[in-house]
């Protein structure tokens, strides 16, 4: 008998499996489940974008793309980023097209962080940052953001977490799961702390097009002195409802992008070709699609926040992404218990906040990338559930 | 308030409170706006969208093309008025192209609809000819896919196999 645990690296065995999984296995077995758990757009990719992908297939454009991605796409990405966030990047040397934003995050961590160095990770946040740091032998240092601060990273908390070993700060805003957004003044306060340190910022801005209210998203690299120490990660999944196409990008100083490109070249080769042809169309002619989808999300966001507040599950008002993060402490249940009971009693699936870091305990993540009818039905079931609990 | 109309068109059962939350308005403003739309005749009613085929398999719906001769001064209005006064008639449109009025008729059976066309519609004074097309399946109506199984959410959570 082979003892595989002796063959596998200690690092991978120490990485915890995602806590969300067990939960979905239960939900999958049930009929009639109303889910508010899925973290991707309910829209299909805009038709004109899909058509460009189809056209490229019809024309037999099925070869590899250059490692960095097609030059045409890199140019369009730079134009888009300049048009939306007013930061200029050189398409030849400062952009790398990746397999989703996730690959870009992984490349950045692997190229920048030495074993034993510290990676600062604000939580609650998406589940991948900690394992990525662990896989390079780095020390993940968790910064717990709080509801009273609107789940924003505060300069005080950041300053307190920095040590001589700190290499990288992950900046996951707009945030999954809380919906928190860092406005310009919040980012400036962070920049003030970072100026004069050797920190590199890995700014995961994948939800940048999904912010609500009159202030648009501010790219961290647009702040003075920050461009030279920031790797921006973004992509097509959330803005253009293109999750399945697996396409994202990283932008940053050419010295960093060059090394990330080397790793990408050996590990991945190049991002999917069909997706890149479609993405060119999205960047050129997709602005109106974004506006339409954002408006739809915004109406659902208001509806769902209102619904939770009505039930006295106080709900921090999210300003970005497509999640709300209501506090369930009032029920006396843990996040896990709440979700499990809700699933068994009312067949409604939401995700325990604790899946996004220990400080997510006492909250649940509810996605509103669902139709209005679906959301109202789920809200009414949750309402009944609370009544049954006597809350 | 065009967005209010769009929302009501999609789902007329949303409460004023829900509409107010979605549109970032007060409930009072929403109820005033709806009352105004009703008064101005912009909103003409609220109906359920029913998949009749699930209720009554014998129900028949037909689309009837009518060619008519318009009347001096009154054009098509007079004949359209006569056609729409029948309770069997669900909708009447004046069309461009090869015929004049498109009329949908509901009946208990195909025979029932055919008799109505023969006895009531084709005998009207200015009707020159009729062509009756029975609707076999309604796939989509008023923006809604009638067979709910086709509307399934096929997204799978990435954590599932």
C-beta of residue A22 within 8 angstroms of C-beta of residue A355: no
Residue A289 parent element (H or E) = helix A287-310
Sort out which chain B residues have CB atoms less than 8 A from A376's CB and list them: 14, 18
Span A53-111, pLDDT tens digits:
999 999 999 999 999 999 999 999 999 999 999 999 999 999 999 999 999 999 999 99
**H/E run at residue A204:** strand A200-204
Nearest CA in chain B to A127: B159
The chain A residue lying nearest B16, using CA atoms, is: A303
CATH of B52-137 among 3.40.50.2000, 3.30.365.10, 3.30.450.20, 3.30.70.920: 3.30.70.920
**Which of B10, B11, B155 is facing A38, going by the closest CB pair?**
B155
pLDDT at B17: 94
Report the half-sphere exposure of B4 (CA within 13 A, side-chain side). Answer: 25
| Chain A: closest CA distance from residue B98 (Å) | 32
Q: Rounded mean pLDDT of chain A?
A: 95
Q: Which residue of A has its CA nearest to B4?
A: A299
Chain B interface test: which of A22, A102, A302, A379 (most B C-beta within 10 Å): A302
pLDDT at A144: 98
Q: What is the second-level CATH architecture of the domain B2-40?
A: Orthogonal Bundle (1.10)
Q: Quick check: A379 contacting B, CB < 8 Å?
A: no
| Among the listed residues A275, A277, A267, the one whose alpha carbon sits nearest the alpha carbon of residue A246 | A275
Percent of chain B with pLDDT over 90: 73
Judge: B17–A306 Cβ closer than 8 Å, yes or no: yes
Which of A178, A167, A159, A202 has its CA nearest to residue A360? A178
- Asked if A219 and A261 count as a contact pair (C-beta separation under 8 A), the reply is no
Predicted local confidence at residue A28, as pLDDT:
78
Instruction: Report DSSP state, residue B71.
Output: B
Distance between CA atoms of residues A349 and A15, nearest Å? 26
Nearest to B159 among A20, A295, A300 (CB): A20
| Residues of B with Cβ-Cβ distance to A18 under 8 angstroms | 159
pLDDT in tens, B132-161: 999 999 999 988 888 877 667 778 766 655
Provide the total of helices (H) and of strands (E) in chain A, helices listed first. Answer: 14, 12
Residues B79 and B71: beta-carbon distance below 8 Å: yes
Q: What is the pLDDT of residue B74?
A: 85
- Chain A residues close to B153, C-beta within 8 Å: 35, 38, 42, 370, 374
Q: Mutate which of A351, A372, A379, A380 to test chain B, going by most B C-beta atoms within 10 A?
A: A372
DSSP A191-213: HHHHTTS--EEEEE-TTTT-B-S
CB contact under 8 A, A300 and B22: yes
What's the pLDDT score for residue B159?
Answer: 62
Q: Which residues of chain A have pLDDT under 70?
A: 19-22
- In this complex, is the C-beta atom of A38 within 8 Å of any C-beta atom belonging to chain B? yes
In chain A, the domains with their CATH numbers are 4-45+288-389 (3.90.1150.10), 47-286 (3.40.640.10)
Which of B3, B24, B157 lies closest to A38 in CB terms? B157
CB–CB of A317/A344 below 8 Å?
no
pLDDT at B59: 87
ipTM of the complex: 0.79
> Is residue A159 within 8 Å of A193, Cβ to Cβ?
yes
Report pLDDT for A198.
92
Q: How far apart, in whole angstroms, are the C-alpha atoms of residue B159 and residue B161?
A: 7
Question: Which pLDDT score is estimated for A88?
Answer: 98
Integer CA distances (angstroms), B57 to B50, B51, B54, B80, B145, in order: 13, 10, 7, 30, 19
* Gyration radius of chain A over CA positions: 21
Rounded distance between C-alpha atoms, residue A370 and residue A363, angstroms? 20
> What would the pLDDT profile of B78-124 be if each residue is shown by its tens digit?
999 999 999 999 999 999 999 999 999 999 999 999 999 999 999 99
CA distance A300 to chain B (A): 6
Give the residue extent of every domain in chain B. 2-40, 52-137
Distance (Å) from the alpha carbon of B155 to chain A's nearest alpha carbon? 8
What six digits make up the tokens of A144?
């717990």
């Amino acid at each position: 008998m082979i003892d595989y645990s002796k063959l596998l690296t200690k690092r991978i065995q120490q990485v915890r499996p995602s806590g969300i999984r067990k939960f979905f296995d239960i939900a999958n077995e049930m009929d009639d489940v109303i889910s508010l758990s899925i973290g991707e757009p309910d829209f299909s990719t805009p038709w004109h974008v899909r058509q460009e992908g189809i056209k490229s297939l019809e024309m037999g454009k099925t070869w590899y793309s250059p490692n960095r991605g097609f030059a045409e796409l890199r140019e369009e990405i730079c134009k888009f980023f300049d048009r939306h966030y007013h930061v200029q990047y050189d398409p030849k040397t400062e952009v790398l097209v990746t397999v989703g934003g996730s690959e870009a995050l992984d490349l950045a961590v692997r190229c920048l962080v030495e074993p034993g160095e510290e990676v600062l990770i604000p939580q609650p946040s998406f589940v991948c940052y900690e394992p990525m740091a662990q896989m390079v032998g780095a020390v993940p240092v968790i910064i717990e953001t709080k509801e009273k601060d609107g789940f924003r990273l505060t300069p005080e908390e950041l300053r307190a977490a920095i040590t001589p070993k700190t290499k990288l700060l992950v900046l996951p805003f707009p945030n999954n799961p809380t919906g928190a957004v860092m406005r310009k003044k919040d980012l400036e306060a962070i920049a003030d702390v970072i100026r004069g340190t050797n920190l590199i910022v890995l700014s995961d801005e994948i939800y940048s097009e999904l912010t609500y209210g009159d202030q648009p998203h501010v790219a961290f690299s647009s702040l003075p002195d920050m461009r030279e120490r920031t790797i921006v990660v973004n992509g097509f999944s959330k803005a253009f409802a293109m999750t399945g196409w697996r396409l994202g990008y990283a932008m940053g100083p050419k010295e960093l992008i060059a090394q990330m490109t080397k790793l990408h070249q050996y590990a991945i080769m190049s991002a999917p070709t069909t997706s890149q042809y479609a993405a060119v169309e999205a960047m050129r002619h997709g602005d109106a699609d974004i506006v339409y989808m954002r408006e739809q999300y915004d109406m659902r966001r208001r509806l769902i926040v209102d619904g939770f507040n009505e039930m006295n599950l106080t709900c921090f008002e999210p300003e970005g992404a497509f999640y709300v993060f209501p506090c369930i402490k009032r029920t006396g249940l843990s996040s896990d218990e709440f979700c499990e009971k809700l699933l068994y009693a009312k067949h409604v699936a939401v995700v325990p906040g604790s899946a996004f870091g220990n400080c997510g305990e006492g909250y649940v993540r509810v996605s509103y990338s669902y139709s209005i009818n679906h959301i109202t039905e789920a809200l009414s079931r949750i309402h009944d559930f609370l009544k049954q609990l006597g809350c | 308030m065009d967005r209010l109309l769009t929302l009501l068109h999609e789902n007329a059962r949303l409460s004023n409170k829900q509409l107010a939350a979605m549109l970032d308005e007060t409930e009072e403003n929403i109820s005033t706006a709806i009352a105004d739309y009703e008064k101005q005749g912009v909103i003409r009613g609220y109906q359920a969208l029913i998949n009749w085929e699930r209720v009554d398999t014998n129900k028949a719906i037909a689309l009837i093309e009518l060619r008519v001769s318009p009347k001096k001064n009154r054009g098509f209005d007079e004949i359209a008025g006569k056609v729409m006064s029948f309770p069997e008639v669900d909708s009447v449109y004046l069309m461009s192209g090869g015929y004049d009025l498109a009329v949908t008729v509901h009946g208990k059976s195909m025979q029932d609809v055919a008799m109505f066309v023969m006895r009531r519609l084709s005998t009207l004074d200015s009707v020159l000819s009729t062509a009756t097309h029975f609707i076999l399946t309604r796939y989509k109506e008023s923006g809604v896919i009638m067979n709910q199984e086709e509307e399934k959410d096929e997204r799978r959570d990435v954590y599932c196999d």
